[in-house]
Amino acid sequence: MTVIIKICTLSLSENQKILTHENKVVISLLFNRLYRDWKLRLFECGTHMPYLEKRPAKIKTGTQFDAPIHHMDLFSTLAVAAGVPTPPDRMMIGVDLLPYLNHNETETPHEALFWLEGHQEIVLHRGMKLIRAQQPRKFLLFDLAADPTEQFNLGNEHPETVKRLNERLDTQRLAQAQPMWSSLINVPN
């Protein structure tokens, strides 16, 4: 936290850039107590993390952007800031965040976001979050606008939404390369 406070007080030149994505353990302990579960898990405490960027020449002080983003957006944002192209030989799901931070883009960066951790997968689509687990096989559906702490599984009440989001997960998985490494942790929900 001291680093973030120090970064916020720096007088940066027009060309200096600072980007940070805070350590999940610190955030989980200090700021994400409201959210369910823990780091390396796919409930909101494991995926809901702050992102700070300071570029005085590009981003107005005090700018806040509340739409969900993905860690792959950091790669794309840094590549654009550095003036280098992203690799053309692979599908890149990240976007440059600068147009969104400057409000030049009015839509959210992603219609849907996806995560994979061990036997668990997530799709977050327009505020509805589906967690699909294989061990044991189950589906958890949450409306994050109404239930940000993920206490109420709506899967039985909204089977069509579960079906639609499962189809999105299947399509995403088919478009992605298989993971090169096994999960760090593989525990049931």
How do residues 127-159 score in pLDDT, each as one tens digit? 999 989 876 778 999 998 898 888 899 999 999
**Distance, CA of 98 to chain centre:** 16
d(CA 57, CA 26): 30
pTM score, whole prediction: 0.72
pLDDT of 119: 73
Q: Where are the domains of the chain?
A: 2-101, 112-175
pLDDT score, position 184 = 62
Strand-pairing partners, residue 128, are: 125, 143
Q: Quote the CA–CA distance of 93 and 52 in Å, as a whole number.
A: 20
**Residue 124 pLDDT:** 92
54: tokens are 């300071």
How far apart CA 52 and CA 73 sit, in angstroms, is: 13
How far, in Å, CA of 58 to CA of 99, rounded? 10
Give the residues of the chain that fall short of pLDDT 70: 1-52, 118, 135, 181-189
User: The domain at 112-175 falls in which architecture?
Assistant: 2-Layer Sandwich (3.30)
Does residue 141 sit in helix, strand or coil? strand
